[in-house]
Amino acid sequence: QVQLVESGGGLVQAGGSLRHSCAASGRTLGDYVMGWFRQAPGKEREFVAGASRSSGTTIYANSLKGRFTIPKDNAKNTGYLQMTSLKPDDPAVYYCAAGTRFLPGRSSQEYTYWGQGTQVTVSS
């Protein structure tokens, strides 16, 4: 099994950038498809982005495409959620997840392993 530990959340001003990390241990992150989700208070968990094992295929929520990217560093066994031009409606707990499907999906049910989540807050 893979274990995922997240870091990098915090407070950022609107318009700013933040990089969220997801470090894998126990298994190679490249053995899994990777997904990113977020959940704001009182709302359902929302798909942000996903990548195939090799990151050859990436998918993004339409509303976030162009502002968020999900690079990976295989040498560090770590995936990243790079967030730019943050808006007042972006605050949420952000989660990384890993799954065993062939391609990344948009449903949280397609992912088996989850990080603990970290809070992102945007100040206006």
User: Of 75, 81, 58, nearest to 6 (Cα)?
Assistant: 81
Tell me the average pLDDT of the chain: 95
Mean pLDDT in residue range 11-24: 96
pLDDT tens-place string over residues 18-73:
999 999 999 999 999 999 999 999 999 999 999 999 888 999 999 888 899 999 99
The pLDDT of residue 86 is 96
The pLDDT of residue 56 is 87
E strand map for the chain: 3-7, 10-13, 18-25, 33-39, 46-51, 58-60, 68-69, 72-73, 78-83, 92-99, 113-114, 118-123
Query: Nearest 10 degrees: CA dihedral of 106, 110, 114, 117?
Result: 20
Q: How large a percentage of the chain has pLDDT more than 90?
A: 90
